[in-house]
Structure formats: C-alpha cells, structure tokens
Amino acid sequence: MGTAIIGGTGVYDPGALEAAGEERVDTPWGEVHLQRGRRAGADLFFLARHGADHSVPPHRVNYRANIWALRELGVERILATAAVGSLNREMEPGAFVAVDQFIDQTRGRPGTFFDDRVVHTDLSEPYCTQMRQALAGAAQEMGIHLLSTGCYICTEGPRFETPAEIRAYRRWGADLVGMTGVPEVVLAREAGICYATVAQVTNYAAGVSPRPLSHQEVVEFMAHSALTMRQLFLAAVDRLAGQPRDCCCAALGGF
C-alpha cells in the first residue's frame, strides 16, 4: 500500500523521505515527475502540483495525469495541501482546516476519467473519513489547532475572485476559496483512492480583506508554515501505517 503527498503552493519539499529518488510515469495524458521514498515501512510519494519550480498555473495542472500516475504506482491514499483565502471570519489567516465539502466553480478543466462511458460517482463524503480522523488525531498530539470542517469552493483562476463573487459564494455556504482542489478530489474518488485535504488560510478573500490580494503574499505565508504542514502529514502517515482501509472510497471508485 502506498501513500502520496500532493504539495501545493509553498510546499515543494517532501521532508523526511527515506531513500528518496526521482520517479517518472507515462500516462495517457502525459508524463508525470514525482519523488518516491519510504516511510513507516511503505512507499511514500511526493508530487509537486505546480511543478518543482512552481511554473504550472492552477488551470493548467494536469490533474488526470497526476492521479492516474499515482494509481499506477499503487497509491491508495493521498494527502493534499491547499493555500486558500477565507470567506469566514472565524477561519483566520494561519488556520489549518480539514476540508469536508467542496463547491465546483471551475469551467475549462477535464474533470473525469470517464469520457467514454457513463459513470456517476458518489461524492456525498468527498474526503476520506478515515484519513480525516488520522489527521485530527495527529494534530491533537502535536498541539496543532486543526478545524474539523470547512467548505472549499474551487474557482477556475488564475485570477483572484471579485468581492461580488465572494459575497455570492459566502451565501452558498463556502468557507474557503482556492483554485486547485477540483477536479483533483473527484479524480481521486473515481480512481478509488482515499483523499484528504488540509487547507491553510493565507489571507481573507477579496472584499473580506481590507487590502488588494497578492500571490507573493500567499507564497511567503505558505513558506513559513510548510514545515508544520509536512510534520502534520507525516504524523498522519505514521498513524495510518498498517491500517486497512475501512472507508468506502475504494468501493465508490469507477474502475
């Protein structure tokens, strides 16, 4: 059983991977580059969502290739990071949130593996409950305040949202806004892979924040917290080591 960490903005280093090495996987949608190592006696992979040099914008990430490559490598669990803006004053900059629901506002991204047959994938619980419990337990042991719920709305990007859009999203029930969570979470479920996201709030969203938004601000904020995020993920990997999957993620996959 293998586990993968997908690092987003500001998280480019896998940390304590034993015997780490480069891995390349050919997929129907192109080649994927990632790092492969060991942790807790099992394979642990690290994939930089935006590329090692953060050169791939969110709307151009090859989500299908990434998830397909992880499936080909035998990955059964994925932990993903996300840098987000907050629509919820109770989720302040610096907060860690274990996302439990999402709203899709993307437009131009291929969002499924199933273009050639009819497959309707259940997403009542889009994020793996077993993995979210492991994250919660690890956070408690480490003294990290991890909020247990949050609704993430994914926009197309690469532009930031307008204040009018943010007001609408807030009425819909969104707490957090980002540009990369979808279709990644959907593809993982289609592939039968357990998937969980920890979002870190880097700023308040447009109209909530009193000042203009800056991508550089997001990058710098995440750079300061990347070590904590890695430590939390590795602790969750250790907690899950050797545990059979007792969730429904695999059964709900379409393959």
Q: Average pLDDT of 110-127?
A: 96
Count other C-beta atoms under 10 Å from residue 148's C-beta.
Answer: 12
pLDDT tens per residue, range 131-148 = 999 999 999 999 999 999
The candidate with the shortest Cα–Cα distance to 1, out of 31, 44, 34, is 44
Distance between CA atoms of residues 23 and 35, nearest Å: 6
Q: What single-letter amino acid sits at 244?
A: P
**For residue 98, what pLDDT is reported?**
98
Distance between CA atoms of residues 132 and 79, nearest Å: 10
pLDDT band at 16 (very low <50, low <70, confident <90, very high): low
Question: How do beta strands 96-98 and 146-147 pair?
Answer: parallel
> Is the alpha carbon torsion for 121, 59, 207, 164 positive or negative?
negative
**Which one is predicted more confidently, 18 or 5?**
5
**Is 19's pLDDT higher than 70?**
no
**For residue 18, what pLDDT is reported?**
60
**Is 163's pLDDT higher than 80?**
yes
Start-to-end CA span in the chain (Å): 18
- For the chain, give the percent of residues with pLDDT over 90: 78
CATH class of the 2-252 domain in this structure: alpha beta
pTM over 0.75? The answer is yes
61-91 residues labelled b (16+ CB within 10 A) or e (exposed):
bbbbbbbbbbbebebbbbbbbbbbbbbbeeb
**For residue 231, what pLDDT is reported?**
92
**Tokens 């993920």 — which residue?**
233
18 contacts: CB under 8 Å, gap ≥ 6: 37, 38, 39
The residue ranges of DSSP E strands in the chain, in sequence order, are 2-7, 18-27, 30-39, 42-48, 75-86, 96-98, 101-105, 146-147, 151-155, 176-178, 194-204
pLDDT tens per residue, range 39-76 = 888 899 999 999 877 889 999 999 999 999 999 999 99
Q: 58: which DSSP letter?
A: G
Determine the distance from the C-alpha atom of residue 59 to the mean position of all C-alpha atoms in its chain, rounded to a whole number: 15
Q: Average pLDDT of 171-196?
A: 98
